[in-house]
Structure 1
Amino acid sequence: MSTTRSALVIGGGIAGPVAATALRKAGIDAHVHEAYSGPSEGIGSGLALAPNGVAALDLLGAGDAVRRIALPVAGMRLAVGGREHVLPVLADQPPLQVVDRGALHRVLHDHAVAAGVPFSYGKRLVRVDEQSTGVTAHFADGSTATADILIGADGIRSTVRGLIDPGAPGPGYTGMLGFGARLDYELDLPDDTMVFAFGAKAYYLYWKEAQGRVTWGANLPSKRYLSLTEARAVPATEWLRVLRETYAPDTPGGEFARRTTAETLEITGALHIMPPVPHWYRDRMVLVGDAVHAPSNSSGQGASLAIESAVQLARCLRDRDTPSAAFAAYERLRRTRVESITARAAKINHSKTPGPFARRMMNAMMPLMVRTVMNPEKTMGDERRYRIDWDAPVQREPAAKS
């Protein structure tokens, strides 16, 4: 029987509220502590939830609320040098659910609150005291909180990761900065289709929304690393100048850039990817979500993996008698899956800026590529069909062979 009765969850983005809700479902009290002064809405831009991520939310009763704010995207196209290629999809899987990140945060927060999860804001973690019976978190405002365990869901710049292992690697930089915007534009494209475009100088993607609107996202190559704060310190008019110059040769990318205004431009800053984290937990502290695994945006699985891990962590804490046993089972369930997806995404990043010859070769080889390296059955079948069996007991580690 589990001895874990309470948890401090550090971070109120995606993984934190989901972990707290799942813990409540498992019979464990959880309290979310967020460094921001309020719910973290307006941080970041759009994202896609894969079927496996939405299925994990369904276990908590949150799936339908997310679907109501999402745009289902079933079709995929690849545009190379102005030529579009229809990509095959997994016919037996539901569509991607494309959501605004801020709206997703709001839905997950509200669902957690409805499940009985309390939230505290302005709680920036500075240190943790561990005892044999629990942990005490110390926050920058001088307050403290105590529970049986502490869960670090505090994102890619995780404080908890550094407390678990001061030598832990930080996030890597993909060499690209993220931007996005919604704009008025009549686009000849099916409503449920997303296009991944290899422009002359940079990669971008776009999809059609209702009532003559389009959302597009740009991955701007940049040797200089800029955090979210640093990127937003640059005037939006300057970024628009760079984006319009970069995407000028592209159709429809050039038009997207010209129609984007300083008021509508969403600036994300550096796009990250997490290298493998050696230590996922220590004693009574454990990591979840981007704090421990953050594949690049090329994976299409970042948020979904965070949701999965939050639910699996709750299962392990429910079924294993001690925190250390639960954390070991959790890492065993998750590490191989998340690191294989991260590795796949890293390969995609390397191909986002092909030169003229490479673009011609991509177009010529596309029929073969669709059957091989772009065949979703081979690249994403297992990823998207992954489902968590909430009711199944978490198995114990197999006994070591003598």
Structure 2
Amino acid sequence: MSDNRGHGSGVRTALVIGGGVAGPVSALALHKAGIAATVHEAYPSAADGVGAWLGLAPNGQAALAAIGADAAVAALGQPVPGMVMADGLGNQLTGFGGFPELPATLTLPRDRLYRALTDQAVAAGIRFAYGKRLVAAEETPGGVTAHFADGTSATADILIGADGIRSTVRTVIDPHAPDPEYGGVLSFGGYATVGSEAGAAPGTMYFAFGRAFMGYWQGPDGRMIWFAGLPTDTPPSPADLARVPGAEWLSRLRDLYTGHVPGERLLRHTAPDDLMVVGRMERMPSVPHWYRGRMVLVGDSAHAPSSSSGQGASLAIESAVELARCLRDLPSPGEAFAAYEALRRRRVEAIGRNAAAVNKVKSGKSDTPVPAFPSLAETLRPLHFHRIAWEAEVTGTVSATD
């Protein structure tokens, strides 16, 4: 069911560039706002199997609920409400059991989230076009035209860049836009067959800082799922990363985590085939221009906060829903884009800055090997309780929210 309120911005059609997480959510939110969207994805087919595990926080789940897309995801994720901060010697520093009035954070593989959202979009009648790598875009008298590497093109009223941290749309909007910022750490993940021997309570995620950082929790099958970093000043390219055998990466990680609790044990019980080479930990610095004319950015293309935030997917979902709401209610694309940026920039950049500070600790560039931990409940409250008032009308004057 759509909620078009008369197509306030005059926008009836949209090109969504990128079919990861932000792309399908953008298309679903636009559909609910009465705007027809087609998702154009660079991969030749659906990107199943791409990406590691992620957390979908309560605020991200609430944003999906605003457009009726939460149930399918909830059925796939593992609830992990608890959180414990520790040092690398095994000493617990502080903990948090979750907010009882909110659903638990869900952990799930990125491709499982992507698939659930894509299936929901397809069921709603949204079209996906694969093998469509954007190479250029230009405004026309009737809208905006996207040109793809296969020689085809497509035109709609607006174009939304949901094409990730290496966004082509971002450089089309602003050729001088910043590049992703490397956080000084190569990211890895894996599965360890130690089960309860690691001392992890079910439903709790642990973060162990020190000379090296590791996060971990007990997965649905009883194995421990972990993620860790390998500090390096000069990161290899993705191609160079792929050329290094998993056994070699695992050996380097085991050397680094010698004496780390429980990193040493987890890595000792991880097989090379169970290692995930995630790649460079990156974030987007402040992007000066989120939109130009009839083109706008959403999700990681505008505000990737790095995995240290635990909010990447949730923020992308929030922004996609908020953008559709603004396009539904405001009289022109320009006014809708300006309102959307005003509603989102302060929140996402504050979260990104906090994640950058944690990245410094993980990379060994901080003055302290363990970050200061204030009350986790008070730290997480403004993140997890954030809600998008879908039913409320967006007016021409909006203020940034945190």
What's the TM-score once normalised by structure 1's chain length? 0.92
Letter in 2 for 1:166: P
- CA contact under 8 A between 1:230 and 1:269: conserved in structure 2? no
- Indicate the SS of the match to 1:393: coil
Letter in 2 for 1:257: L
In structure 2, distance between residues paired with 1:226 and 1:110: 35
In structure 2, distance between residues paired with 1:213 and 1:378: 31
In structure 1, distance between residues paired with 2:139 and 2:262: 55
Task: Spell out the pairing of 1:2-401 with structure 2 (5 A cutoff).
Answer: 2-80=9-87, 81-88=89-96, 89-187=98-196, 188-199=199-210, 201-352=211-362, 358=368, 373-397=373-397
In structure 2, distance between residues paired with 1:324 and 1:211: 49
Letter in 2 for 1:388: I
Residues 259-268 or 288-297, more deviating: 259-268
Residues 346-355 or 75-84, more deviating: 346-355
In structure 2, distance between residues paired with 1:37 and 1:204: 35
- Indicate the SS of the match to 1:69: coil
In structure 2, distance between residues paired with 1:281 and 1:227: 29
- Indicate the SS of the match to 1:43: coil
In structure 2, distance between residues paired with 1:312 and 1:145: 25
- CA contact under 8 A between 2:184 and 2:360: conserved in structure 1? no
In structure 2, distance between residues paired with 1:69 and 1:295: 24
Cα offset, 1:86, TM superposition: 4.1
- 2:3 corresponds in structure 1 to none
Alpha carbons of 1:126 and 1:74: their partners in 2 closer, same or farther (altered >3 Å)? same
| RMSD over equivalenced CA pairs, Å | 1.9
Letter in 2 for 1:189: A
Cα offset, 1:247, TM superposition: 1.2
- Indicate the SS of the match to 1:351: helix
- CA contact under 8 A between 2:13 and 2:156: conserved in structure 1? yes
Residues 64-73 or 283-292, more deviating: 64-73
Q: Which runs of 4+ in 1 moved over 4 A?
A: none
- CA contact under 8 A between 2:178 and 2:287: conserved in structure 1? yes
Letter in 2 for 1:380: L
In structure 2, distance between residues paired with 1:104 and 1:214: 20
In structure 2, distance between residues paired with 1:168 and 1:222: 25
Alpha carbons of 1:126 and 1:398: their partners in 2 closer, same or farther (altered >3 Å)? closer
- CA contact under 8 A between 2:342 and 2:398: conserved in structure 1? no
In structure 1, distance between residues paired with 2:364 and 2:175: 38
In structure 2, distance between residues paired with 1:220 and 1:41: 26
In structure 2, distance between residues paired with 1:240 and 1:179: 9
In structure 2, distance between residues paired with 1:74 and 1:129: 46
Unaligned runs of 5+ in 1: none
In structure 1, distance between residues paired with 2:115 and 2:302: 23
Residues 282-291 or 253-262, more deviating: 253-262
Cα offset, 1:350, TM superposition: 2.0
Letter in 2 for 1:326: A
Cα offset, 1:184, TM superposition: 2.0
Cα offset, 1:118, TM superposition: 0.5
In structure 2, distance between residues paired with 1:318 and 1:254: 52
In structure 2, distance between residues paired with 1:377 and 1:236: 38
In structure 1, distance between residues paired with 2:226 and 2:145: 44
- Indicate the SS of the match to 1:352: helix
Alpha carbons of 1:132 and 1:267: their partners in 2 closer, same or farther (altered >3 Å)? same
Cα offset, 1:328, TM superposition: 0.7
Letter in 1 for 2:133: R
In structure 2, distance between residues paired with 1:259 and 1:293: 36
- 2:4 corresponds in structure 1 to none
- CA contact under 8 A between 1:179 and 1:266: conserved in structure 2? yes
- Indicate the SS of the match to 2:352: helix
Cα offset, 1:193, TM superposition: 0.3
Cα offset, 1:358, TM superposition: 4.8
Alpha carbons of 1:266 and 1:307: their partners in 2 closer, same or farther (altered >3 Å)? same
Letter in 2 for 1:280: W
Identity across the alignment (%): 51
Letter in 1 for 2:205: M
